[in-house]
A and B are shown apart, each in its own frame.
Chain A
Amino acid sequence: MKRWKNSISLLLIFTMVMMLVSACGSKSSTEEKGASESAKTTDSAKTGEKVKLKVATWAGAVELKEFEDLISKLNAASSEYTIEVQSIPADYYQKLQAMIAGKQAPDFMWLSQEYVAQYAKLGAIAPLDQELAKLDFKKDDYFAGALNVGMYKDEIYALPWISQPYVLYYNQDMFEQAGIELPNENWTWDNFIETGKKLTKDGRWGGLINNMPLPMFLWSYGGDVFDKDGNITLNSADSMKGLEMYQKIAKSGITPERAQADSMGGADMFKTGKVAMFVGGAGDDFEKTAKFKVGMTLAPKGTNTVTFSWIGVTAMSKTTKNPDIAAKALQDMTKAIHGWKVVAPTKSGFDAISTIRPDKTYAVDTIRKASEIARGFNNQPKQAEIDGVIWEKLIQPLEQGEDISKAVDTTISKFNEIIK
């Protein structure tokens, strides 16, 4: 019996030692596997085998299905690469960051413009100029504002696949019933307030601004939060004019309370006829969903004609094993998306609007003009923190009617703490 027990014990010890040895050895075998895969990938181009690439996307449900179909067509047409779609519909950036930190970054990743500078500075994504120079990349085909958000320190790090310039949507029925002239391309923010006051009645509001990024008002008067070189320009005379206008609109009484607009959703308030004017992305689906006649024109201006654009980009991981073929795949994939998503950030992809979204045909000229004047933020590597400060120290005090100069000083002092 005792011998039997000892044998079991020895067997247990042996098993555990083997487990430990195999665990310790796993790193080297993984490294070997990684090295052999890397060599295999590099060789694959020579041997004619397709390079395997992965793209991370936040797309889910219908959008994901459409994207997968698009990628299947690309894969079928290419003899050089096969792209696999990695869908991360929830907590996208958290999971992406964990993958990058764990050295498991996908070859391509969809990014919102705010992340480009940060990922580029931290070396998570690769500069593309060198690879793009070897391809038939037409830089001039992109609208300048869209391409700029994919750049960091004068190098291209990401290719835009969508650019939704903000335009002014209006409820034409409400205007006509009130006998008020329709908005036009030359409208200023003062016109917006003036007309908004006439339309604010019977539980309805003239306009909404809670969904618009604050810098858009600064740009309207030639100012900005940061300039292209990353210097703080929030307290320039032009920026101050933009902030004054923002506060003027917020206090004019033509907009619902922020909390109400946030809880109901700005777009839904417009769609349900509670708000007469809404500045939103040119690709929004009001024409399909609203039960009134929707009109569109350029967003109001200050002294400058400019608008914000929500821009999505695809970046290439710095750890991709075959950058030449990956860059080619990135360019093909981006071009293909331009024929799928509205609004394309390129001049050549622009004409597809009428085909993809016939409901937008009436506004193609307006969207084109908006795309030409649209831009993104001068994003900083610590943009997420900066945005947090803008919300807490600038937007909220401005909306509560506090002194603008005081709010600006506090904001700048916080900025300095972040970017020091």
Chain B
Amino acid sequence: MADKDQKHHEAEDTGHEWDGIRELKNDPPRWWTIMFWLTPVWIAGYLLLYPSIPFPSGSSKGLLGWTSHGEYDKGRQEIEEIRAPFERKIAAMSAKEILNDPEMSNYAVNSIKQTFGDNCAACHGSGGQGGKNFPILADDDWLYGGTIEKIQETITEGRGGAMPAFQGRFTPEEMGDLMQFLKDAQQGKVFEPGKKVFLGQTKANAECSTCHGEDAKGNQDMGSANLTDGICRFDCTPEGLEYTVLHGVNDDGDVKTRKATMPVWGKKLTETQIKKLAVKVYLFGGGQKS
């Protein structure tokens, strides 16, 4: 310490002094100076090696030829190499075979997460929990069937519901009876006056049972909803049910009609992707054995 103090007293100062503390004219530390002069070297090297200088026609390319796209492609290639053996195996398997192979179904579910997120989750939710006026995938109520084959078919070919708008067809009394019938049906009871409306035996002659069945349990071949299980495609409240009856589904004649269209994914996604998606949807918890 003593040596250093002596040096301080000998050192020249700038003439600035605050409370006895003098500002000295010592050189900055050597390590600092070295680092300081290394920075321009670093900059020069960087400018040469990497794309960095902006020209009107685009930036300089750099001697290394590095691009962020190139790095991305390299990374993608790496993961594709890891996935290749699985992908080959999956291409040769049916969706059902994948489902029965725990390792492959695990791979399918995890490798298709991104595709599901990009294409399906907006309507059906990231975990198949559905959304307002969009179908839940995690339950066991299926409009078109919940077997792995049916799920695959739904994704590939898309679906579109069709229900005519019944506005103006029912008298207020008939409407009231029908609503009571639907409410009771969800609890396993039968409201006889309403059942007559439902079967088309009143003046309105609207045979709901043509599509939904005499037992109101729907028909998966045509995608008509099961009205007895308390799970509604759109809205289970009395107002919601009435709205659906009045305006129908996908009825072009009614501007207020409910929209229900599952797009055709067969043209946008590959068969392997759809197989994986079908497995993922099945495993949300609602898949049904055929």
Q: A and B: partners?
A: no
